[in-house]
Chains A and B, each alone.
Chain A
Amino acid sequence: MKWEVVIGLETHAQLSTVSKIFSGAPTAFGAAPNTQACGVDIALPGVLPVLNTGAVERAIRFGLAVGAKINSPSIFARKNYFYPDLPKGYQISQYELPIVEGGTLTVQVGDAERTVRLTRAHLEEDAGKSLHEDFHGQTGIDLNRAGTPLLEIVSEPDMRSAEEAVAYAKALHTLVRWIDVCDGNMQEGSFRCDANVSVRPQGSATLGTRREIKNLNSFRFLQQAIEYEVQWQIGEIEDGRAIQQATVLFDPDSGETRMMRTKEDAHDYRYFPDPDLLPLEVTAERLAAVRAAMPVLPQARREKFAAQYGLTVYDAGLLTASRELADYFDAAAVGADARTGKLCANWISGALSARLNEEGIDIAQSRVGASQLRGMVDRIADGTISGKMAKDVFDAMWAGGGDADQIIAAKGLKQISDSGELEKIVDQVLAENAQQMADFRAGKEKAFNSLVGQVMKVTRGKANPQQVNDILRRKLAG
């Protein structure tokens, strides 16, 4: 039987506010345990929550970015359960009326685009951390994280493969950083996903029973976990066993998912509206102010890049992996024609990105500035240097050797584009390589490359390759 995979994602994005969602304590990562938890965070008797407007603004920004409805009012509710790292015995979240409802996200899967529908996004507070090591059979509680603002973004079950789920998660990750609502740091847990996975016979209209894989904090784990889970579920069904609704954990070491709890042990969270917080109203003025401050979004930038420079969906996607990268490209390609623009795109996605990766730095820390890159691309476009020479120029720029023109002059890299001079050299090479000339005319295309190589050798790589090609073809044809 053919199986169809159905995946929906719930993503927790930590909002990049300086202080917590209901208290003034700082949200900075990595402080000594319990040094960033105030009375509200540790739930002293008598304390009360006060909503951080910065968190609300970020939620609205996200909602606008995905074309969602911003609910006014939205309601904060209490989700009641006991756990030592949940100081109040309830988590303040949004339940029946979230601040963000609906919306879509355009996702790139390979060279195609897909639209994933969003169900909702709601504001909530994070819990603290339970530390089970180093306490000799006891549990340590660190409440620094308690009260950290989260936006939980819930997708519809619109994804049909692990690859699509990862593409969605990446697009979401790009977007939340793009609009400055989340730093996207996955190691620190600022962006983590739960995946709801089910399978059904191809063509079936009803959904299969889902299992939820909790807390996936890397794209690789997301991919591996879903792939394992899908195979496991298909195996179960094919062996005649029904899937039981459950929450599972992914073990990166074994690459397997394992059961945490079934639906039967699910809590009754006894949600009810939090009487300590008023319904959250978003006025038209506030909405307009947030809208006015929105940056141009990745999708619009991609479309512009594609239209202006003829970039493929894939290339445009690479350049919009972050707002800084897109800005860099815009600065490099300013006023450029399609060919130069495409060259800029190739150099940014190619050599420059490779260098950044190698050194583990961001585009903002690039040692080759956008105008420097453009200076080099212009010399390629006007034939002054070849692509191969440009590689040397780029390396020299990266090493701090100045602008492209300075490096070209200093290294004598100028390519030979004088057709008279090149004609003479080609004639000379042909005269010395009668055998290859004969081979080529006998139909051996390889011989042509060898002749080009000879010309390059004589000119020590400085000959304009396009011109060499043209001249050779003409002479060989003659």
Chain B
Amino acid sequence: MSNATLKELSLKLATGACSSVELTHEYLNKINRLNNDLGCFITVDGERSLAQAQAADAQRSAGRAGPLTGIPLAHKDIFCTQGWLTTCGSRMLANFVAPYDAHVVERCSAAGMVTLGKTNMDEFAMGSSNETSYFGPVRNPWHRETVPGGSSGGSAAAVAARLAPAATGTDTGGSIRQPAALTGICGLKPTYGVVSRYGMIAFASSLDQAGPMARTAEDLGLLLNVMAGFDARDSTSLDRPTEDYLRDLPRSVAGLRIGLPQEFLAAGLAPDVQRAVDAAVAEYRKLGATVVDISLPNMGLSVPVYYVLAPAEASSNLSRFDGVRYGHRAAEYTDLLDMYKRTRAEGFGAEVKRRILIGTYVLSHGYYDAYYIRAQKLRRLIAQDFAAAFQKCDVIMGPTSPTTAFRLGEKSADPVQMYLSDIYTIAVNLAGLPGMSIPCGFDGGGLPVGLQIIGNYFDEARMLNVAHQYQLATDWHLKMPPGIE
């Protein structure tokens, strides 16, 4: 049953084939068996989950069930969940029990979904391999010696290993799409502002966006229908009419214009990844789509631009973790300054410190114009590149990540190599566009490859349609990691 999709689970619950409590038990048992190996979850609280499942079953008996009522899901540990430990993968918040629910959590709970637990992640979402987590790495279910990607590595691996039918993630520079690609699942980062950031612990506010992670495009749509929507508590949340992201699923892709950016064929792209992506594009041609060559001339600047802007915002966002009101505080200190220093030295890991230092530097007097202001200008140019491209095509396609899953420890000593694993995803965040990753094949070692689909602003429904039609024609998304029954 744990191999079922959200869609299938929804049907089973509706027909009474199983209860939410049974379903929740099954997933909890599986987590219990596999989590020690995989490290997907930081916190599991069976009692709480089962209580929610009972409530969901009661709701169903009372005739008040929605499509997702009673279905369990996992939340990335970046979302505040009332009464649950919410660590953000950091020692700094290792003892922090959130006193409120994030908007995303609120929406999922209101839809009757059951929280299975809080998933592991790179510390404060800073990382592309899940190795920066204070709670240890997550292992890729396809190959235990490789990383699941990051920062939503726990969510991705949990969905891939069937420890949860779906999970929430967040994506600042690729943190939903890249781990989805590396673990062979689907992940969608919506247009900036579609999902409220309220209650989601901020990394880089102007880039952070929450989104669904699941095994099919249809499941992403089901979950996005719950997660999306205006929230007055987030000033960057967009007040738009509610939409049904599933509405375009059946639409044909005949006539779809797929843009292929020449810049995506950069050096460093693994041949196996390129082959799989080419094959996916060929499949779309078979389905009636046409292909146009496009250019995103400033894409090469996206990594350096991102590594100015994201650390700048992060350095300020993470200032609140000072040991004064909550979270970690050094046990011993001589005065206030010493308390700050020791608390933050102990509470943050190396990657977080590196980014705070970079961010503080680029915002400093005398450097601000040369780095921050210039990066903002380039950010606008990158967005303009996409605007020009979308004059010629409906969606843009390419690899999600230049390589498949790499070995644990392989890149952790070389931050720049690590940063380059997001080379294809970062520009999308800088432009605020929606982007997604779906499985499109495997490399020679049996590791999954992700196809990235980038849409124009608010084109999520179209992107899901495009992905869904592919999944009707192919079965990459149905492949299961070895040893996961």
| A residues with CB within 8 A of B | 39, 42-51, 78, 80, 82, 84, 87-90, 139, 141, 268, 270-272, 275-278
- How far, in Å, is B2 (CB) from chain A's closest CB? 30
How many angstroms from the CA of A272 to the CA of B317 in the assembled complex? 12
Residue of A nearest to B320 (CB): A43
Cross-chain pairs A/B with CB under 8 angstroms, 27 sampled = A39-B99, A44-B98, A44-B99, A44-B100, A45-B88, A45-B96, A45-B202, A45-B320, A45-B326, A46-B79, A46-B197, A50-B233, A82-B319, A84-B322, A84-B336, A87-B320, A87-B324, A88-B320, A89-B319, A90-B316, A141-B324, A268-B365, A271-B363, A272-B363, A272-B372, A275-B313, A277-B235
Asked if B236 contacts A276 (CB within 8 A), the reply is: yes
Asked if A48 contacts B198 (CB within 8 A), the reply is: yes
User: A82: which B residues are within 8 A, CB to CB?
Assistant: 319, 322, 340
- Number of B interface residues, CB 8 Å? 44
Asked if B199 contacts A88 (CB within 8 A), the reply is: no
Asked if A78 contacts B235 (CB within 8 A), the reply is: no
User: B79: which A residues are within 8 A, CB to CB?
Assistant: 46
Residue of B nearest to A51 (CB): B235
Interface residues of B in 282-324 (CB under 8 A from A): 312-313, 315-316, 318-322, 324
Residue of B nearest to A24 (CB): B233
Name B316's contact: one of A47, A48, A78 (CB within 8 Å).
A78
Contacts A45-B93, A82-B340 known; A272 to B316 CB distance under 8 Å?
A: yes
Asked if A89 contacts B336 (CB within 8 A), the reply is: no
User: A45: which B residues are within 8 A, CB to CB?
Assistant: 80, 86, 88, 93, 96, 98, 201-202, 320-321, 326
Contacts A80-B316, A82-B319 known; A270 to B205 CB distance under 8 Å?
A: no
User: A43: which B residues are within 8 A, CB to CB?
Assistant: 320, 325
How many angstroms from the CA of A90 to the CA of B316 in the assembled complex? 7
B360 CB-CB contact with A under 8 Å = yes
Contacts A268-B365, A277-B235, A278-B236 known; A84 to B319 CB distance under 8 Å?
A: no
Asked if A39 contacts B100 (CB within 8 A), the reply is: yes
How many angstroms from the CA of A89 to the CA of B314 in the assembled complex? 12
Name B206's contact: one of A49, A50, A84, A275 (CB within 8 Å).
A275
User: A47: which B residues are within 8 A, CB to CB?
Assistant: 198-199
Q: Which residue among A50, A51, A139, A277 has the maximum number of chain B CB atoms within 10 Å of its CB?
A: A50
Name A90's contact: one of B198, B319, B364 (CB within 8 Å).
B319
B357 CB-CB contact with A under 8 Å = no
Name A42's contact: one of B232, B315, B325, B360 (CB within 8 Å).
B325
- How far, in Å, is A87 (CB) from chain B's closest CB? 6
User: A39: which B residues are within 8 A, CB to CB?
Assistant: 99-100
Residue of A nearest to B202 (CB): A46
User: A272: which B residues are within 8 A, CB to CB?
Assistant: 312, 316, 363, 368, 372
User: B206: which A residues are within 8 A, CB to CB?
Assistant: 275
Residue of A nearest to B205 (CB): A275
Residue of B nearest to A50 (CB): B235
B102 CB-CB contact with A under 8 Å = yes
- How far, in Å, is A80 (CB) from chain B's closest CB? 6
Q: Which residue among A87, A141, A268, A275 has the maximum number of chain B CB atoms within 10 Å of its CB?
A: A275
Contacts A45-B88, A89-B319 known; A50 to B232 CB distance under 8 Å?
A: yes
- How far, in Å, is A201 (CB) from chain B's closest CB? 32
Asked if B80 contacts A46 (CB within 8 A), the reply is: yes
User: B475: which A residues are within 8 A, CB to CB?
Assistant: none
How many angstroms from the CA of A84 to the CA of B200 in the assembled complex? 23
- How far, in Å, is B259 (CB) from chain A's closest CB? 29
Q: Which residue among B100, B232, B236, B320 has the maximum number of chain A CB atoms within 10 Å of its CB?
A: B320
Interface string of B394-422 (1 = CB under 8 A from A): 00000000000000000000000000000
User: B200: which A residues are within 8 A, CB to CB?
Assistant: 46
Name A49's contact: one of B235, B365, B368 (CB within 8 Å).
B235
Add 16 more A-B contacts to A80-B319, A139-B336 (CB < 8 A).
A39-B100, A43-B320, A44-B100, A45-B88, A45-B93, A45-B96, A46-B197, A46-B201, A48-B233, A87-B325, A88-B320, A270-B315, A270-B316, A270-B368, A276-B202, A276-B205
